[in-house]
C-alpha cells in the first residue's frame, strides 16, 4: 500500500523568498504526524501544497499514490483539509453544511446519518447544529469543520493548528478522534504550536525552520538528536536555535 503522503524534493518560492526548500518526507498509513516550526517556517505552505492549493516550484507531492497536480481529484477524494481559519458557509446551518460535504464526497444518506450521529456525539455539536453558522463562536465553527473533515472518513487528514480556540474538553475529544482515526488506518498530518499535544499523540514529529526540515523522527529519536532527555518544548527550542546559528 502506498504511503499516505510523500513529499519528494519539494521547493516553493514566493518571489525571491524561499518558503520551503528541498523538503522530502514520507508519512505512512496509520500515522499521526506532527509538523512543528516557528512562525513563517513554511508549515502552512507545505500543508497547502499537500492539499493541492499551491503548486511546488520543484519536486512532487503524492497523496495515497496519487500525484497532486496530475491526478489531483483522486488525491483530493482521499484527503480532508482543515485550514487554521476554518471555512464554513455562514448562511447554512451546521447540519446543512455537513449534508453538503457528505453529498460532495458521495456518501449515501444512510451512511451519512450513521457517521454524523457518531461525530455529533463525539464533538458535542448537536445543541446548535440546526442554527445558522454565522452565530457560531470560533470553537463551535472549529468543531463543525472537524466533523465535516472526518465525515467522509478520509484516508489523510491534513490540519493546520487544530486546537486553537477549543476548550480543554474539546481538545481532549479531538485528540481522541485523531488517535482513533489513525488506529482505523487513516493518517493525520497536523501542524501545531501546541507542543504538549504533539508530544502526547504524535507518532512522529518533523521540525521545520527557515524553510528546511531540521529534524524528523519519533520523540525518542528527536531526544537523541538533541542529546537531551527533556520535553519536546526544550528540544524544539534547542534545535531551532541551532538552526539560527
Partner 1 sequence: MDSAAALPVDRPLLALLIRVKMRSLWNRVVKAAAEAPIRVSLGAFLVALIWLGLFGLFLMVFSQIQESTPLEATVAIPLIYSLFFATMMIMLAFSNAIIVHGMLFSRQEAEYLLSAPIRPRDLVAVKFFESLLLASWSLILLGLPLMMAMAQRTEDNWFYVLFLAFFACFIPIPASLGLLFAWLTARFFPRNALRAAAFALGGALVVAVIWCMRAIRMREMATDVWLRSFLQRVSFVESALLPNNWIARGIDHALNHQLTDALMYLAVTAANALFLSWVVVWLVSHHFGPAYDRASTGGRGGRRDPVDASGGICGRVFFYLPLPLRLIAAKDLRTFFRDPVQYSQLLILFSLIILYLTNMPTLQRELGHSTYALVIPLLNLCATCLILATFTCRFIFPLVSLEGRQLWFIGLLPLSRGRILRAKFAFAMTVALLVTCAAIAYGAMMLDMPMVWTGIHLVTTVAICFGLCGLAVGVGARMPMFDQPNAARIANGLGGTVNLIASLTLTTCVITAVGIATWHSRNLHPEQVPAIGDLILCGSAAGISVCCGLLALQMGEAHFNKVEV
Q: Does 159 bind partner 1 (CB under 8 A)?
A: no
126-134 contacts, C-beta under 8 A, 24 or more apart: 128/94, 129/93, 129/94, 129/95, 129/98, 130/93, 130/94, 130/95, 131/93, 131/94, 132/90, 132/91, 132/92, 132/93, 133/88, 133/89, 133/90, 133/91, 133/92, 133/93, 133/94, 133/97, 134/90, 134/91
Q: Does 76 bind partner 1 (CB under 8 A)?
A: yes
Planar angle of CA 96, 176, 120, nearest 5 degrees: 20
Least distance to partner 1, CB of residue 166, Å = 19
Q: Does 18 bind partner 1 (CB under 8 A)?
A: no
Q: Does 181 bind partner 1 (CB under 8 A)?
A: yes
Least distance to partner 1, CB of residue 220, Å = 27
The label of the residue with cell 487554521 reads: 84
Least distance to partner 1, CB of residue 217, Å = 25
Q: Does 212 bind partner 1 (CB under 8 A)?
A: no
Distances in whole angstroms, Cα of residue 209 to Cα of each of 4, 20, 51, 111, 235: 23, 9, 21, 42, 13
Interface with partner 1 (CB under 8 A), residue from 26, 153, 203, 234: 153
Least distance to partner 1, CB of residue 128, Å = 15
Q: Does 162 bind partner 1 (CB under 8 A)?
A: no
Cell of 212: 528546511
What number of H helices and E strands is found in the chain?
Answer: 9, 10
Q: Does 185 bind partner 1 (CB under 8 A)?
A: yes
Least distance to partner 1, CB of residue 186, Å = 4
Interface with partner 1 (CB under 8 A), residue from 2, 96, 199, 212: 96
Interface with partner 1 (CB under 8 A), residue from 55, 58, 118, 138: 55
Q: Does 139 bind partner 1 (CB under 8 A)?
A: no
CB 133 within 8 A of CB 86: no
Q: Does 83 bind partner 1 (CB under 8 A)?
A: yes
Cell of 44: 502552512
CB 87 within 8 A of CB 80: no
Least distance to partner 1, CB of residue 121, Å = 20
Residues of this chain that interact with partner 1 (CB under 8 A) are 12, 14-15, 48, 51-55, 64, 69, 73-74, 76-79, 81, 83, 85, 87, 89-93, 96, 100, 103-107, 111, 132, 152-155, 181, 184-186
Amino acid at each position: 500500500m502506498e504511503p499516505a503522503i510523500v513529499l519528494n524534493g519539494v521547493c516553493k518560492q514566493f518571489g525571491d523568498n524561499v518558503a520551503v526548500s528541498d523538503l522530502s518526507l514520507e508519512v505512512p498509513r496509520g500515522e499521526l504526524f506532527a509538523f512543528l516550526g516557528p512562525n513563517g517556517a513554511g508549515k502552512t505552505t507545505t500543508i497547502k501544497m499537500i492539499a493541492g492549493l499551491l503548486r511546488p516550484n520543484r519536486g512532487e507531492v503524492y497523496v495515497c499514490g496519487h500525484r497532486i497536480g496530475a491526478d489531483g481529484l483522486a488525491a483530493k477524494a482521499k484527503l480532508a483539509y482543515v485550514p487554521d481559519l476554518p471555512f464554513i458557509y455562514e448562511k447554512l446551518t451546521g447540519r446543512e453544511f455537513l449534508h453538503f460535504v457528505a453529498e460532495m464526497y458521495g456518501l449515501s444518506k444512510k451512511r451519512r446519518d450513521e457517521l454524523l450521529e457518531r461525530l455529533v456525539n463525539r464533538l458535542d455539536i448537536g445543541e446548535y447544529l440546526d442554527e445558522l453558522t454565522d452565530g457560531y463562536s470560533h470553537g463551535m465553527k472549529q468543531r463543525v469543520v472537524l466533523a465535516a473533515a472526518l465525515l467522509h472518513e478520509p484516508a489523510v487528514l491534513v490540519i493546520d493548528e487544530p486546537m486553537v480556540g477549543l476548550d480543554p474538553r474539546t481538545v481532549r475529544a479531538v485528540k481522541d478522534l485523531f488517535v482513533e482515526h489513525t488506529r482505523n488506518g487513516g493518517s493525520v498530518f497536523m501542524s501545531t504550536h501546541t507542543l504538549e499535544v504533539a508530544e502526547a499523540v504524535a507518532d512522529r514529529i518533523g521540525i521545520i525552520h527557515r524553510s528546511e526540515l531540521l529534524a524528523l523522527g519519533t520523540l525518542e529519536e528527536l531526544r537523541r538528536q538533541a542529546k537531551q532527555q527533556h520535553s519536546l518544548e526544550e528540544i524544539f527550542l534547542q534545535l531551532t536555535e541551532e538552526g539560527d546559528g
